[in-house]
Amino acid sequence: MRLLFLGDIVGKTGRTAVWERLPGLVSDLKLDFVVVNGENAAGGFGITEDIFLGTISAGADVVTTGNHVWDQKEAVVFCERHDQFLRPANYPAGTPGRGSNLFFARNGARVLVANVMGRVFMHPELDDPFKCAEAILEACPLGEQADAVVFDFHAEATSEKQCFGHFVDGRASLVVGTHTHVPTADHQILNGGTGYISDAGMCGDYDSSLGMDKEEPLNRFISKMPKGRFEAASGPATICGVGVEVSDRTGLAEKIAPLRLGPRLSETIPEFWA
């Protein structure tokens, strides 16, 4: 089974690039399942229902989020209407929406996708992500109720991301770190067979500060005084993510490689899909 995960969409340029390129990727690479993090898709802050639906129409099977999930207030309402929209699962009980769900891939496989948020240097500080993941896996274990398991671990600290990967190693097909918007070079298959990367990067303008127009962040570092609001950068976007081949027999990763398409970073498509 071929899984593709795309990192945080940032602003209009990011979502436009994903919407334009994803249909062709699904077709050309014969993708069975696609997960996209969309939490910064609305001007860099949150996601609207129209943007969510546009991302699904482009070929995403699931849209995950993170700490910006509620930045657009309509998300509190529309999250209840769409099974394919996930917010962090470790929000307190009673929070609107869902943090994990079981989906069917194009090849008929059952794919469990869970969105979990870390706690180190993160706000708001949610419930224990490790206990949350344990409960999710106990309810829908790999090889029993699920043919593949994907975690979007939305976190700041690389150490927390790595420890989470080791915690679910052998029990998940893929753990993808999101939130920091910079693609890391540590894609690997862990000892137990789980594909892992500390951060998938973002789908946005890399001539920026994490997808934001660089002038205001630079000003704040230098002067310590705000001059205006952060605005999403509007230059051409680079799409970043990670592709994984998952064993139909075990549900564990067999191959993993980054995917990067756009003007700033070196373009690469997983060679096992070329």
Active site residues per annotation: 68
Closest CA to 140 of 98, 170, 102: 102
Q: Which helix (H) or strand (E) holds 114?
A: strand 110-117
DSSP string, 197-251: ES---EEB-SSSBTTB-THHHHHHHHHSS--S---B--S--BEEEEEEEE-TTT-
DSSP helix/strand/coil, 76: helix
With H, G, I as helix, E, B as strand and everything else as coil, classify residue 109. coil
Q: At 75, which amino acid appears?
A: A
Q: Which residue bears the tokens 């994984």?
A: 244
Which DSSP string do the residues of 160-185 spell out, in sequence order? HHHHHHHHHBTTBSEEEEESS-S--S
Strand 148-154 to 188-189 pairing: unpaired
- Give the DSSP H/E element, type plus range, for residue 261: strand 253-261
Of 253, 230, 233, nearest to 243 by C-alpha is: 253
161 and 192 in contact (C-beta within 8 Å)?
Answer: no
User: What is the three-class DSSP state of 23?
Assistant: helix
